[in-house]
Amino acid sequence: MLKYQPLPFQRSENRMPTTHIQLCYFAASDAFIKNGALFMRGLLRATVLTTGNTNAYWGVQEEPGSEGVRAGYLITAWHSQGDYDKYQNSDASDMTMRLLKEVALGEITSHLFTLGVQESTTIPTLTFRAKLTEFVLASPKKGVPRKVLKRAIGRVCEVLDEHGHPAMIGENVTDSIEGEGVENVYVIVIGWPAYEIMDKKPFVTPIDELSSFADLRFWHVPFDTYTSRL
């Protein structure tokens, strides 16, 4: 079983719905692992005060399948793509990327996902406030049409919804690996009450079916809650 690091959770005080989430991940340096709380407190304070930001999250986790290698994560949530675009052209965004590069070992991967309208109000809050949040990043295998992959992803969320587990789907808007474009990436974000439930039927079946159409990457993150407004 993987060992998970607690993920401090930063929430802004506005109640605007979230329509977009930006996900950044990278191999974390020792400096980030040891001093991440201090580093991110100042960084996220600037981010959550940006107009249109609804939440921000960060954490350090052991990289699945790579013993001893930990990944760092930064997630920012936005009311609209227009708000996100303004943020990208702001000093706060420049500071974010500058500081991330100082604590990242190698490349920083970034995705901007748009969420479904029906999922943009309460579902993000439910998934991130669950005892365990699972991220499934899906990239279509060669030759798989988008509509086939989206149907398989939809089936995953149908099963989860039938059993009372909140989940949301994000479709990529812009993606980059140090500036290089990446296409057709989807994210499924699931809220779980416990780790053990994930590996039980009926949840494994739609995930197995999805793996026939997409290359999958999994992250599991328990969130802690705090506010930076001291």
CATH code, domain with 16? 3.30.70.100
Is residue 48 classed as helix, strand or coil in its secondary structure?
Answer: helix
In-domain check, residue 2: no
In-domain check, residue 167: yes
- For the CA atoms of 203, 204, 210, 211, the dihedral, rounded to the nearest 10 degrees, stands at 160
Which pTM was predicted? 0.77
Tens-digit pLDDT profile for residues 189-215: 888 887 777 777 778 888 889 999 999
- For the chain, how big is the Rg over CA atoms in Å? 17
In-domain check, residue 79: yes
Whether the bond between 193 and the residue before it is cis, its omega within 30 degrees of 0, is: no
In-domain check, residue 230: no
In-domain check, residue 54: yes
Tens-digit pLDDT profile for residues 45-60: 778 778 888 887 777 7
In-domain check, residue 1: no
In-domain check, residue 30: yes
CB neighbour list of residue 51: distance below 8 Å, 6 or more residues apart: 83, 86
**How many domains does the chain divide into?**
1
Q: Provide the residue-wise pLDDT of the chain in tens; the chain has 230 residues.
A: 333 333 333 333 445 678 888 888 888 888 888 887 777 776 777 787 788 888 877 777 755 545 567 788 888 888 899 999 999 999 888 888 888 888 898 899 888 998 864 444 456 667 777 777 788 999 999 999 888 988 899 888 888 888 888 788 888 886 544 444 456 789 988 888 877 777 777 788 888 899 999 999 888 766 544 334 32
Domain containing residue 62: 7-225
The amino acid that residue 195 corresponds to is: Y
In-domain check, residue 24: yes
